[in-house]
Homo-oligomer: A and B are copies of this chain.
């Protein structure tokens, strides 16, 4: 069975084009939409009236005349419904509430120490529950819940493996659907980050964007031709296990010389521990501590960041040469060390990539203020809402 064409499909396509246009360029008049999209005036009129009926668009009043009748300006009704977005981390749960435009209305972070299912799942449900309770009443209510998870998923939303949480075969989709009776979408953390950056971050104009999540390990969210690339078994993006040293250290994945052995938060802390025992006692080492030490001038720590940065740069160079993307965003924990790792990364990238590829390329660090993973997760929920129930074709 194929997706065959009929008038309903045509209408869905055009309605989605009209709504997208309003979302991106409002305020707009009907006639401007007609010109921008190439659709006939009458078509636009009737579609707009349906969208107003559905409370997704509203009239804001008259605009300025350009020599004739004054246009009626239209706005997207961002507040017709809200979406929940969750970044499920290794020691925290970040829940955000966004409107249909992806603007953050509310947010709350909860921390945990034990990662066992019995502890985390109830906390997760409670956190979402609390956020739903705080959401204002709207036409469509909570239209969906999107979650970003640090692990490998199948296409039905089961977590096959989340090594840093110690989870295996957790049917999170079922658990949350049962708990809330609301559509749930689950996405890998790095993929969600890529989506977030594409929709709300630095990558709005880019069709090819790669989100490099440098945390305990390294994961990558690959967005090609505007869509997440998943591979044959939903398991692409395991770039942490690139071989960058043919005869390097042994990795638990079975290979040798894997990238994340040299360039992750784990690598950083492990190496720091070797010389910091004497330098500063047995304090708990984490990345924020190390950044603080570098800021206050510790040469050894600065040198360590430099080294880690170079290794990150090697992997990123491989990514660049392979994917020739428009944008690379470095996110997750190590992004806070931007100040200390940016230069070595850039230096290596300039050495190891083609000039004509670099010309189309930008590299940036995810802003610590906005959580692109939670934003991306919320966006998947919104998108699913539109494609399943209302407009949108994809």
Using a CB–CB cutoff of 8 Å, the interface residues on chain A facing chain B are 1-2, 4-7, 9-14, 17, 36-39, 206-208, 224-225, 227, 229-239, 241-246, 253-256, 314, 317-318, 321-326, 351-354, 356-357, 359-361
Which residue of B1, B224, B234 is within 8 Å of A37 (Cβ)? B1
Given known A231-B208, A318-B318, contact A351–B254 (CB-CB < 8 A): yes
A255 to B5: give the CA distance in the assembly, Å: 51
Q: Are B254 and A325 in contact (CB under 8 A)?
A: no
**List of B residues within 8 angstroms of A351 by Cβ:** 254-255
Q: Are A4 and B39 in contact (CB under 8 A)?
A: yes
Given contacts A232-B325, A235-B324, A255-B352, 9 further A-B contacts (CB under 8 A): A5-B11, A6-B10, A10-B10, A225-B225, A236-B323, A238-B354, A242-B318, A244-B244, A253-B354
Q: Which residue of chain B has the shortest Cβ distance to A247 in the bound complex?
A: B245
**List of B residues within 8 angstroms of A234 by Cβ:** 324
A19 to chain B, nearest CB (A): 12
Closest 6 CB pairs of A and B: A231-B324, A5-B10, A5-B13, A232-B360, A236-B324, A255-B352
**List of B residues within 8 angstroms of A254 by Cβ:** 351-352
Q: Are A37 and B2 in contact (CB under 8 A)?
A: yes
Interface on chain A toward B: helix, strand, loop, or mixed SS?
loop
**List of B residues within 8 angstroms of A256 by Cβ:** 352
Which residue of B10, B38, B325 is within 8 Å of A2 (Cβ)? B38
Q: List 14 A-B contacts (CB under 8 A).
A: A1-B37, A2-B17, A5-B10, A7-B7, A7-B10, A208-B231, A224-B224, A225-B227, A231-B323, A231-B324, A232-B325, A233-B357, A243-B317, A318-B318
- Copy tally for this chain in the complex stands at 2
A388 to B256: give the CA distance in the assembly, Å: 50
A14 to B361: give the CA distance in the assembly, Å: 39
A242 to B254: give the CA distance in the assembly, Å: 21
Q: Are B246 and A1 in contact (CB under 8 A)?
A: no
Which residue of B9, B37, B318 is within 8 Å of A243 (Cβ)? B318
**List of B residues within 8 angstroms of A207 by Cβ:** 232
**List of B residues within 8 angstroms of A245 by Cβ:** 245-246
Q: Which residue of chain B has the shortest Cβ distance to A10 in the bound complex?
A: B5
A263 to chain B, nearest CB (A): 12
**List of B residues within 8 angstroms of A12 by Cβ:** 5
A321 to B225: give the CA distance in the assembly, Å: 20
Question: Max chain B CB contacts within 10 Å: which of A4, A37, A318, A321?
Answer: A321
A7 to B6: give the CA distance in the assembly, Å: 8
**List of B residues within 8 angstroms of A237 by Cβ:** 322, 324
Q: Are B38 and A1 in contact (CB under 8 A)?
A: yes
**List of B residues within 8 angstroms of A232 by Cβ:** 206-208, 324-326, 357, 360-361
Which residue of B5, B230, B246 is within 8 Å of A9 (Cβ)? B5
**List of B residues within 8 angstroms of A233 by Cβ:** 324, 356-357, 359-360
Q: Are A241 and B321 in contact (CB under 8 A)?
A: yes
**List of B residues within 8 angstroms of A39 by Cβ:** 4
Q: Are A236 and B322 in contact (CB under 8 A)?
A: yes
A154 to chain B, nearest CB (A): 11
Q: Are A238 and B321 in contact (CB under 8 A)?
A: yes
Q: Which residue of chain B has the shortest Cβ distance to A160 in the bound complex?
A: B356
A7 to B231: give the CA distance in the assembly, Å: 34
A229 to B325: give the CA distance in the assembly, Å: 11
Which residue of B7, B246, B322 is within 8 Å of A322 (Cβ)? B322
Q: Which residue of chain B has the shortest Cβ distance to A310 in the bound complex?
A: B246
A325 to B39: give the CA distance in the assembly, Å: 40
**List of B residues within 8 angstroms of A314 by Cβ:** 243, 246
A78 to chain B, nearest CB (A): 22
